[in-house]
Structure 1
């Protein structure tokens, strides 16, 4: 056989075998016997052996899987994996459209994409080779699952020659087709194993398995839709999608380029019906501004891009019986009612409980009675929620359900702050769920991230009288011998735990502040407070007027901080933590400037540039003493303008007579 004939036959066999794999794993409808499949596979393997230069790295002959991963390495994302803002409302989409127009004018397009119900994944390619696959994680860092992702046939392991950059990242969604899910779930039940609730859970559980050979037996698929590089490579998102397909990536062909919001709404209406005909689950539509420079102009909030939004379809609704209402006490003392329901299948999962939020929900909006028949749906497809009551089925003598007056954990009378819906237990130092919850929050990943200590261990140590306050965690080493008496506490686990406690003393002030669990002081607010006040003493003695001058600190947060530091127990706790060696001062980093030529000058960077990325220009300005502002005002000295700059910024800068300069002029100012 000549090389030309071999090339043609290899391509034919590869395409045919991939189709048979799809028919078997995805459609669960094989069209060929196992014997015939194996014979064709042998024929392909023999041809690849004779003509190795024609072998495809993605060939069906390539053995996939077999490596065992003891634990997944945490990897920081080069570009954060932000989540999208969600809406179920057509009006909110129209409002989103108006915000876009106000910022960048009328000359823009949208790209609409199906919102796959799967597991977000980031793939890194270097010189055309897949080198890393990382889960979303918390958006900043995720787990390296490269070995498992290599088992997915639709993800290229090595690209053929093309015009792609040397280093780039692709974002996509790993999922499982419904037919494959049903087939594998049937096998699990026949083997006496617990079935998965839905395809997304099955896909997620599969990606986190330790043996990639087992992963390879579970047919996962992946659609890719996001392209990231250091330099601007395409002008539009639509252009990048066409390139991804050209390079060999599996993109979804249902996406559409839309000229305006009306075309977006037509697309949403179409897929509200058509989604049930797909072989996989979607839960909505993602809408993105197409032009990359316009995306940059619109920017980001702390959690999501301003140039994209997800429209989610209405959740499935079912009817079931309310069995009882119980109450949970959180770490801040908020008491949340929970409805216990007769188990019912909803959106692929069995629902037994639903949140009731607060007293008003029970007594005013729903007016719940004992034994009511209620309609339940999943808010955002995640948390079950009671929507309404079927009054036609209410029992004649049913008693109304009233919200409790005392804490279910410590019997303390509940309090309700003016203007708030929630009731609170004020006994924060004596209420067991609050005490345990605070300590669990303190050790959590986003706070002190103490290795070797988990929520269950905290609960056990509290019950065994080892810890009652956060500061007690740093005294555990004094009771190491007593810890050995606890069942399942081996010497190694105790050593790991105490090492983790010791290591946590190096966590920065902002993490300690967040870990203290002051009401309304989340991760971002803690960072702002640490940067503004520099140390815990300045923060503790700050007046209301001083607090609200800090960035993002409003009335509610300021009053909560004052209330926290006025408590004698909290003051004593902080002194004990200081004595244990925790960081209560911001570590000032010494910055060496390249020059002070921009000292006292303020800048805004807008548009796109050929020679520099916006981040590079920002670094240059700050390295020479300049400051970057977030919005145009009379305080601004220069607007550094590139191509495709938004019209609103240009108009405002012109009105204020602010000098508009190019990147060349900026560099010229540095000489």
Structure 2
């Protein structure tokens, strides 16, 4: 492909950035997409290619910067321009009336109030200069917040450039949150990988925004709503209602549900209205906020050391109800874990009817002393996940029955085992139909191979009829076999065949994530794909080599090594490769050794000439493996500005330490050496970039 001139590239880059920003606003803020994912991906790929060809044209607010930059060693503490105060809480109608009376006493009247829903997330403050996003802080202690700018850039609904080129500074505040659907998906993924679950969306959002690796944050699908302007070159904003409208005009996502309440009765009616309606929203709200709408009155009302006197956060009480456990069944997951699930008498709870709740494992059943037939108190953790809070022991009549997980798998009959150090009982039979069903569902899911049309019922029929006994069998399905299934028409069969064919083109990272290796989710799969480049290289890697890869560690390394040591897994992967799936990245193999083949390079501190991700890509192209820790095998430690504790460890280990200038000189020399010895057509090694979405 012909590389355009700098002028042509600059003009096309400007068009692409504007177009991508518009489509991101339509998709993530307005929920009105105009183009398909494939078209969006093609625009993003074109922009990535142009920016790679002309790196001096890359700007911080480019849509390509959202995918996550370099990992950081810690968050810098920055003082807020104005303190980020917490809101006073109210829990009853009396609390609300007391707040209204105080406002009326101070002002001599009760002005209109702005009613806004209170999102259960993490408060942030965002700074824009000349209309461009330059810095974002968490609330912290109210006076000092943590600089999480790189992580905030990954949030698709947050504009990196405003719709108007405002002069000077603009500081806005809002809440980062995680939608219910994304929270449920994240916890489901963590449960499959047997990682600790997040208690609620707020904890998930806070933990995700404070990840040291922005790429992890990017994978968590966070969202943001803005509700306050702190510092701005704006005139005429005299009310909170006007502020919200102005934020919308600038392209910020603003939460719907706002209402102007003319008096106390309307304020109380607003709170009562959303007591139940909030459950229909796609995100969690734990209350509503009443603010004096007249901004000029805020100064008169003042503030305490911690809270402003012009606002009140009303908290709705958590909804808990009693029901009865009719039965406890056992679910078998794709890793063989046997999970007790309580079947409940249906009970309306937080906007839906709840009929089952996971009891996680036998230890949890024993700790809560849960029995079949018990009356129990249930609630939704984070208003999403049903859980049993406690047993009403006083209601027992003697008919209740204790529960024990079975000694054999309820699906295939294999003897269940409990491995040392684990809380779960497990079915060891890899051919267990339940494990196969769950494994196929995971393999076909959107975050894995994304095989459209291959839903739960289709998968169940394929397994039950013996049409699919391994993952590779999927790709040997034909129209005739699919038409044997119930309610399967010609069009649906053709669509599944096409979806299977399309999935063969998924990148290596998606395939690795789809395999369902324990502890190796989407992010770990991405790391492994980048570090090793092919299934063959990954299968040949020792547990020690795997553990030394940045972001892997000993537990994941042991799981990955065990997976590839299994002969059945190897046979499946061989079949997948023969059937046309991508088991390697687009790397041109060199006929001469790469200059830094197998060597480990550690980065510490901030690089000035490139992001850490870009520097790591350069050393990977030379055959090296970027590492997060200094060891006896470390080839080079690159010390940038503000180098952290790794530098001390490198000195103690007598490792070779270089500054950034020396590092780039060594890289250039190694690349020159490779070009001088490699045959034509192998003058450089390229690594395919992964889908930024």
Instruction: Output the TM-score relative to the length of structure 2.
Output: 0.49
2:362 to 344, 348, 359: 359
1:423 to 414, 419, 425: 425
Tell me which moved more, 542-551 or 436-445. 542-551
> Which residue of structure 2 aligns with residue 163 of structure 1?
167
> Which residue of structure 1 aligns with residue 443 of structure 2?
442
> Which residue of structure 1 aligns with residue 572 of structure 2?
573
The answer to whether the 8 A contact 2:636-2:658 is kept is no
> Which residue of structure 2 aligns with residue 526 of structure 1?
525
Question: 2:559, 2:454 → 1: CA distance?
Answer: 29
Structure 1 residues 465 and 319: CA distance shift in structure 2, 3 A: same
> Which residue of structure 1 aligns with residue 191 of structure 2?
none
Q: Provide the secondary structure at the position in 2 that maps to 1:375.
A: strand
* 1:542-590 Cα shifts (integer Å, max 9, x gaps): 4444443444444443443444344443333233223212233343269
Question: 1:409, 1:632 → 2: CA distance?
Answer: 47
Q: Provide the secondary structure at the position in 1 that maps to 2:377.
A: strand
Quote the offset at 1:387 in angstroms. Answer: 2.0
The answer to whether the 8 A contact 1:103-1:648 is kept is no
* 1:46-80 Cα shifts (integer Å, max 9, x gaps): xxxxxxxxxxxxxxxxxxx9x99797778567555
The answer to whether the 8 A contact 1:333-1:426 is kept is yes
Aligned counterparts, 1:281-430, within 5 A: 282-283=285-286, 315-362=318-365, 364-429=366-431
Structure 1 residues 225 and 602: CA distance shift in structure 2, 3 A: farther
Question: 1:344, 1:80 → 2: CA distance?
Answer: 42
* 1:17-40 Cα shifts (integer Å, max 9, x gaps): xxxxxxxxxxxxxxxxxxxxxxxx
Structure 1 residues 575 and 107: CA distance shift in structure 2, 3 A: closer
Question: 2:565, 2:657 → 1: CA distance?
Answer: 49
Quote the offset at 1:390 in angstroms. Answer: 1.9
Question: 2:37, 2:509 → 1: CA distance?
Answer: 27
Aligned counterparts, 1:98-247, within 5 A: 108-109=79-80, 111=84, 116=119, 162-163=166-167, 223-224=225-226, 245=247
Question: 2:395, 2:456 → 1: CA distance?
Answer: 42
The answer to whether the 8 A contact 1:540-1:565 is kept is yes
Question: 1:244, 1:659 → 2: CA distance?
Answer: 51
The answer to whether the 8 A contact 2:441-2:459 is kept is yes
Q: Provide the secondary structure at the position in 2 that maps to 1:384.
A: strand
* 1:341-384 Cα shifts (integer Å, max 9, x gaps): 2222333332221110001111x201122321212222233211
Aligned counterparts, 1:496-507, within 5 A: 496-507=495-506
Question: 1:80, 1:403 → 2: CA distance?
Answer: 46
Structure 1 residues 366 and 635: CA distance shift in structure 2, 3 A: same
The answer to whether the 8 A contact 1:373-1:393 is kept is yes
The answer to whether the 8 A contact 1:74-1:143 is kept is no
Runs of at least 5 residues in structure 2 that lack an aligned partner in the other structure: 1-29, 42-62, 88-117, 122-127, 132-150, 180-223, 230-242, 256-267, 279-283, 289-314, 669-693
Structure 1 residues 647 and 446: CA distance shift in structure 2, 3 A: closer
Question: 1:417, 1:347 → 2: CA distance?
Answer: 37
Structure 1 residues 448 and 159: CA distance shift in structure 2, 3 A: closer
Structure 1 residues 536 and 313: CA distance shift in structure 2, 3 A: farther
Question: 1:107, 1:69 → 2: CA distance?
Answer: 39
The answer to whether the 8 A contact 1:451-1:497 is kept is yes
Q: Provide the secondary structure at the position in 1 that maps to 2:401.
A: coil
Question: 1:161, 1:404 → 2: CA distance?
Answer: 66
The answer to whether the 8 A contact 1:172-1:225 is kept is no
The answer to whether the 8 A contact 2:547-2:553 is kept is yes
Question: 1:174, 1:529 → 2: CA distance?
Answer: 27
Quote the offset at 1:632 in angstroms. Answer: 9.7
Structure 1 residues 452 and 142: CA distance shift in structure 2, 3 A: farther
The answer to whether the 8 A contact 2:607-2:640 is kept is no
Quote the offset at 1:226 in angstroms. Answer: 11
Runs of at least 5 residues in structure 1 that lack an aligned partner in the other structure: 1-64, 83-99, 119-124, 129-138, 147-154, 176-221, 228-240, 254-272, 286-311
Question: 2:646, 2:542 → 1: CA distance?
Answer: 37
Structure 1 residues 106 and 422: CA distance shift in structure 2, 3 A: same
Q: Provide the secondary structure at the position in 1 that maps to 2:371.
A: coil
Question: 2:155, 2:574 → 1: CA distance?
Answer: 37
Aligned counterparts, 1:593-632, within 5 A: none
The answer to whether the 8 A contact 1:73-1:143 is kept is no
Q: Provide the secondary structure at the position in 2 that maps to 1:510.
A: helix
Q: Provide the secondary structure at the position in 1 that maps to 2:498.
A: helix
Tell me which moved more, 439-448 or 519-528. 519-528
Quote the offset at 1:505 in angstroms. Answer: 2.5
> Which residue of structure 1 aligns with residue 490 of structure 2?
491
* 1:70-96 Cα shifts (integer Å, max 9, x gaps): 9777856755589xxxxxxxxxxxxxx
> Which residue of structure 2 aligns with residue 467 of structure 1?
468
Instruction: Output the TM-score relative to the length of structure 1.
Output: 0.51
* 1:320-341 Cα shifts (integer Å, max 9, x gaps): 2222111111111111111112
Structure 1 residues 432 and 605: CA distance shift in structure 2, 3 A: closer
Structure 1 residues 277 and 615: CA distance shift in structure 2, 3 A: farther
> Which residue of structure 2 aligns with residue 133 of structure 1?
none
Aligned counterparts, 1:3-152, within 5 A: 75=40, 78=64, 80=66, 108-109=79-80, 111=84, 116=119
The answer to whether the 8 A contact 1:448-1:512 is kept is yes
The answer to whether the 8 A contact 2:119-2:175 is kept is no
Q: Provide the secondary structure at the position in 2 that maps to 1:336.
A: strand
The answer to whether the 8 A contact 1:164-1:247 is kept is no
> Which residue of structure 2 aligns with residue 85 of structure 1?
none
Structure 1 residues 164 and 546: CA distance shift in structure 2, 3 A: same
Quote the offset at 1:471 in angstroms. Answer: 1.4
Question: 1:423, 1:616 → 2: CA distance?
Answer: 40
Q: Provide the secondary structure at the position in 2 that maps to 1:341.
A: strand
Quote the offset at 1:499 in angstroms. Answer: 2.5
The alignment of Structure 1 onto Structure 2 pairs a total of residues equal to 449
Aligned counterparts, 1:263-278, within 5 A: none
